[in-house]
A and B are shown apart, each in its own frame.
Chain A
Amino acid sequence: MSADTDPERRHRPIRSLVAKVGLDGHDRGAHVISRAFRDAGFEVVYSGLHRAPEEVVQAAVQEDVDVLGLSILSGAHNTLVPAVIEGLQSYDAFDEMLLIVGGIVPDEDRERLREMGVDAIFGPGTPMRDTIEFVRENAPRRE
C-alpha cells in the first residue's frame, strides 16, 4: 500500500490553473477542460479571458498549482509561452510545475515549445481522457 492510498493521509487533489493567455476570445475549450478536470477530481483555478503572461504567472505562483494549462488559439504561442516560462522561472516556480499547452500548434513549433520546457501539447480532437491521464501520471509528486 503506497502512502497515497493510506487512509490516514489527507486527500490531496491535483491543483491546476487553466489560463487563457493572449488576445483570442475562444474560451470554449478552456471551459470544457476546466469542467473535465473538476469531474476528474482536480481543483481548477480558471483565469478568465485575455490574460497577459504576467497575470498567468502571478496566478500560477500564488495558487501554487501543480499543473498549468495554457489555452492558446491565436497562434501567438511562440511569444506567449516563453514569456510565461520566464516569469515562472523568475519566481523559481517553473521546475516543479507541469506545463501543458492546448490549442492549435503547428508541428514545426511543437519541438521548440518542448525544448523550452512544455511537457505536452494537446491539439484539437485530443480525447479528454488522454489529457486527464497525462496529468494524473505526470503531475509533480511533492514531498
Chain B
Amino acid sequence: MMTDDDSGQTGTSERNDRLVNALLDGEHRALARAITRIENREPGYRDLVSRLYEHAGSARVVGITGSPGAGKSTLVDKLAAAYRERGETVGVIAVDPSSPFSGGAVLGDRIRMGSTVGDMDVFVRSMSARGRLGGVSTATTDAITALDAFGKDVVVVETVGAGQSEVDVVRTADTVAVLVQPGSGDDVQMLKAGILEIGDVFVVNKADMDGIERTVAELTEMIHRRSDGQSHADPDEPAVNDASWQPPVVETVATAGTGIDDLLAALDDHAAYLTRSAEGERRELDRIAEELRRLVRNDGNELLEAEIRRRGGIETLARRVRDGETDPYAVAESILEPLRDCLGPGETATEAEGSAPERE
C-alpha cells in the first residue's frame, strides 16, 4: 500500500483517458486539471504522465532564475509577449516558496503578468514549493511534460535562485537565463552560491539603474573565470556548460520592454548551439538520467519510510538508539537488509569508503 496508484485502477485509467484526450484536443481546462493531478500526486498521476510523455518532446524549455525582486516575473511576461508576437505558443511555470509554518503560499507572479491578457495561448501556472524535498523539481518536470504535450512551443520556468531545489528546477530547462540587478552585492553572493555555473545567458535587468557598467563588467569577468576554471571542477559533477559556449550578458529594462529582443536572440542562439553541438544531446541525457535517479530515489525512500513505519516508526527506533539498546548503523542495516537480500549486495557508499564491515 505504498501509493494510491493501484486503488481503483480502472476508474483512474478511464479518467486519465478522458483527460489526456481533452488535453490533446486543446482544452485549457484539461491542461489545468492535468497539472493539478501531477502537482498533487493524485492517484494515477504516473499513468497520466506516462501517457502525456509520448506526445511531448518538442517544446523548448527556458529556465529563468534570479534573486527576489530582480524582475523575473516582469521579464517573463515581456518574453512571453515577444514569443507570441512570433506566433509561438507559451507555457509558464512560476515556482514560489511556501511558508514553512503553515504550508500555505501567496503566489504573486501573476501580478506582473499583464501583457498577454485574454490570450489563452499563454498558459501561466503558479506552483508552490510546498516544502517537499526534491518534490518541486519532479512536479515541475512533469508539468513541463503536460504543457509540452499540449503543444506549447516554448515553456518558461521561473524560480527564485535561492537553493538546491530551485537550482534543480531550472536545470530541467534546455537554456537557463540568470537574472541579476545592478549594484546588488546580494546577487554577486548568489552567483557565488552556485547559480553562476548554471547560467547560459545572463541578464542584467533594470539596466536603467546606476551601477550597470560595473555589474556587467563584474559579471563578464566571473563568466570568464568560470570557463577558465572549469578543469578544476569536481569531476563527478558534469560540467553544465561546454567551453565553446560563452554566456552572453544581456541588458534589459523589463518594465519598459527594453532589451527583450536581445534576450530573445541570445536564447535563440543558445538553442541553435545546443542543436549544432553535441551539448544538446548530452544535456538531454543528463536531464533524463537525473529524472530517473530522482524517481527511483523517491520511490525507494517511500518504500523505506513504509518499512520504518512497520517497525514502529522512526521515533521508536530513535529511542532505542538513545536508550543504548542499539546503534544507528545496526538499525539502518536491519531496515535495509531485506532490500539488499532482494537486489544483491551492490556497492554502497559506506562500503566503498571501507568504513563498513564486509558483507557476503
Residues of A within 8 A of B (CB): 7-13, 15, 34-35, 37-48, 52, 54-55, 58-59, 61-64, 91-93
Contacts and interface: CB of A to CB of B under 8 A. Distances in A.
Contacts of B111: 46-48
A61 B105 contact: no
B287 interface: no
Interface in B96-152: 98-99, 101-108, 110-112, 114, 117-118, 120, 123-126, 128, 130
With most chain A CB atoms within 10 A of its CB, the pick from B3, B28, B35, B110 is B110
B1 interface: yes
B317 to A, nearest CB: 17
A11 B28 contact: no
A11 B102 CA distance: 12
B32 A62 contact: yes
B41 interface: yes
Interface of B: 1-4, 28-29, 32-33, 35-36, 40-42, 98-99, 101-108, 110-112, 114, 117-118, 120, 123-126, 128, 130, 309
A8 B3 CA distance: 7
The 7 closest A-B pairs by CB, nearest first: A48-B111, A38-B104, A64-B32, A10-B41, A64-B36, A41-B104, A41-B102
A37 B128 CA distance: 14
A66 to B, nearest CB: 9
A30 to B, nearest CB: 11
Contacts of B99: 38-39
Contacts of B114: 48, 55
A47 B108 CA distance: 7
Given A8-B1, A48-B110, A39 B29 contact: no
B29 A93 contact: yes
Given A13-B130, A58-B117, A46 B104 contact: no
13 contacts: A8-B2, A10-B42, A15-B36, A39-B104, A43-B104, A43-B107, A44-B104, A45-B126, A46-B107, A48-B111, A58-B120, A62-B125, A64-B36
A64 B118 contact: no
Nearest to B28: A61
B71 to A, nearest CB: 15
B152 to A, nearest CB: 12
B107 to A, nearest CB: 5
B107 A91 contact: no
A64 B105 contact: no
Given A13-B103, A59-B124, 14 more contacts: A8-B1, A13-B104, A15-B36, A35-B106, A43-B98, A43-B126, A44-B105, A44-B107, A45-B107, A46-B106, A46-B110, A55-B118, A58-B117, A62-B124
Nearest to B94: A45
Nearest to A52: B117
Contacts of A15: 36
Contact of B106 (A38, A41, A58, A63): A38
A37 B104 CA distance: 7
B28 A39 contact: no
A5 to B, nearest CB: 14
Contacts of A13: 103-105, 128, 130
B107 A61 contact: no
Contact of A91 (B4, B29, B105, B110): B29
Contacts of A44: 104-107
